[in-house]
Every structure is written in structure tokens, then in C-alpha cells.
A and B are shown apart, each in its own frame.
Chain A
Amino acid sequence: DTGVSQDPRHKITKRGQNVTFRCDPISEHNRLYWYRQTLGQGPEFLTYFQNEAQLEKSRLLSDRFSAERPKGSFSTLEIQRTEQGDSAMYLCASSLTGSDYGYTFGSGTRLTVV
């Protein structure tokens, strides 16, 4: 198992464009999380899935953001009509319910909106 994979690693986009990120969790992990991290801050929770069900969304997640996890496997995070304030590192993590070892994070997708 190669851990949590995120694609792309970097994305530069023009304001107003749509972007989509992909996350492939560790295969046996049933929970998948998206976090956003800006410079000088810790990761902030965006949303999480248990299997294919999206169980919680942060109020940080505006209507321009949507996440899916079809069939409980990989997940996508889409941002529509990007704004400069969306520039951040988007981190995906997965875990197994009941595990004491916290999440396993991917390396993240760095989004720059110009």
C-alpha cells in the first residue's frame, strides 16, 4: 500500500475557473477527510465521508465546493468559480474507524488562484 495519494500536487488556475482534485485513500480505510491549510495555520476541516456517505460539511465549505466519494473508494473535491481566497493546500486523509493511530494524510494539492 502506497498510502494516501493526491493528484495533482500543484494546480495554478485563473480566477473564475473550476478545478477538481482527486484523493485515493488507503484501501482498507473507511473514512476519508478533506482539510484546507493556509500559510501559518493548521489544517482546517472541510468535510468527511464514511464509506460513500458524506457525513459532515464545515461551514467553511461554501456552495462553490463539492465533494464526492463514489462507491466509497477515491474522492474528488471540486471548486467552482475559484477565487483568490481559495489559494491553499488541500489535504486529504483517511482512517479506519476505531484506529488509535490518527489519520494518514496525503501530501496535498497546492492550489494557486491567479
Chain B
Amino acid sequence: DQQVKQNSPSLSVQEGRISILNCDYTNSMFDYFLWYKKYPAEGPTFLISISSIKDKNEDGRFTVFLNKSAKHLSLHIVPSQPGDSAVYFCAASARLVSNDYKLSFGAGTTVTVRA
């Protein structure tokens, strides 16, 4: 059962514009959420995270928003740069309450930034 869903397999955006990636989850026990970025032939690299006690976390060009009532989170990249072209995975865990560090991943969204 897919507990984390990324319903958009791909996203194309012009350089300098905003990229918005969406993620939905079904498990109400999830309380910690992460975004990973993956280039071909490399493992995923950690990008940004947010715990369920917050609704926004910002790190440079990357901002993650969490809507707990809707079980939805999004990643905003502003401005998008060519180096942002990669696959982005949303992931979730129940680490805060359950001390469960294993991650459930979405299927990923491939972002292409056009010059």
C-alpha cells in the first residue's frame, strides 16, 4: 500500500520561475517529512525536512509547506535553476512519537528546468 503519493510524475519549469512539487500521505502516524533529490546514477540526497509541529520550513531557495489536516505537503523552489533538474522524492516517517525512523517514499517527480 502506497502511503506516500506523488501524483505528478514530471514537471517542466522555466529557469527563474517557481517549481511546486506536491505530496500526499495517508498514514496519520507520520509526523516527520523530508524531501530528497536524486541525480542519475547517484543515491538520493537530503534536501529539507519538516516536523508535524510546524507548517513551514525554509532553507534558501527551498521551502516546504505542511497541511496536516489535508495530509498534504509541498516543496517550493524559487527561483528554479538548471541544476535543480533531478528526481525529487517525498518521504515520511513516524519518528517523533513512535521513534520509527524508517522512511516511506513517494514514487518521485522528475523536474526539468528549461533555460
CB nearest to B100 among chain A residues: A56
Whether the Cβ atoms of A4 and B104 lie closer than 8 Å is: no
| Interface size counted on chain A using CB atoms at 8 A | 24
Give the secondary structure class of B's interface: strand
- With A102-B46, A104-B46 as contacts: A95 and B101 at CB distance below 8 Å: yes
Interface residues of A in 84-100 (CB under 8 A from B): 91, 93, 95, 97, 100
Give the secondary structure class of A's interface: loop
CB nearest to B45 among chain A residues: A105
- With A31-B101, A42-B89, A43-B89 as contacts: A107 and B107 at CB distance below 8 Å: no
Q: Which of A44, A45, A105, A107 contacts B41 (CB 8 A)?
A: A107
Interface residues of A in 44-72 (CB under 8 A from B): 44-45, 48, 56
Does B112 belong to the interface (CB within 8 Å)? Answer: no
> Which residues in A have some Cβ–Cβ distance to B below 8 Å?
4, 31, 33, 40-45, 48, 56, 91, 93, 95, 97, 100-108
